[in-house]
């Protein structure tokens, strides 16, 4: 088994990004597990793992990772929006709307505003 070192973790993180882009979220999660075990404070790795959990329909793990990211970065509009999508997919519309609105308040991107239903004129 290869020795674990920071270079290996960077390579694993980048490979996990590629796996997620290639629609292999479970493979991405496997790579990110070792990165996060070695660097639990790495918010970028946690956010990527949350996205991979979501993409593989592992909604509860995705929710927990997105929430951890938001504990560390409460102003992360993307994480709020992604958590809202997770809640929406899990059939929790009230929790979803709260985070859709937080995302839109933090970053008025059209897709965030639309999800938050602030675009009542449409």
For 23, which DSSP code? T
Contacts of 92 (CB under 8 A, 6+ apart): none
pLDDT of residue 122: 44
Q: Per-residue pLDDT tens for 7-47? A: 899 999 999 999 999 999 999 999 999 999 999 999 999 99
Q: Over the chain, what is the mean pLDDT?
A: 94
SS3 content of the chain, % helix, strand, coil (to 5): 75, 0, 25
pLDDT of residue 119: 53
Rounded Cα distance between 29 and 17, Å, is 10
pLDDT of residue 99: 98
Q: Per-residue pLDDT tens for 41-57? A: 999 999 999 999 999 99
Whole-structure pTM value? 0.90
Q: How far is CA 103 from CA 67, 75, 96, 111, 121, in A?
A: 13, 8, 11, 10, 19
Q: Per-residue pLDDT tens for 57-68? A: 999 999 999 999
Residue % of the chain over a pLDDT of 90? 90
């Amino acid at each position: 088994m290869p020795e674990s070192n920071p270079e290996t973790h960077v390579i694993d993180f980048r490979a996990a990004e590629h796996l997620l882009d290639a629609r292999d979220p479970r493979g991405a999660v496997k790579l990110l597990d070792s990165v996060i075990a070695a660097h639990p404070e790495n918010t970028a790795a946690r956010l990527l793992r949350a996205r991979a959990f979501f993409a593989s329909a592992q909604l509860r793990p995705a929710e927990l990772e997105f929430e951890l990211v938001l504990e560390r970065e409460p102003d992360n509009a993307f994480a709020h929006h992604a958590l809202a999508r997770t809640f929406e997919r899990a059939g929790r519309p009230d929790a979803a709307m709260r985070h859709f609105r937080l995302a839109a308040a933090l970053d008025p991107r059209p897709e965030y505003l639309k999800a938050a239903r602030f675009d009542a004129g449409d």
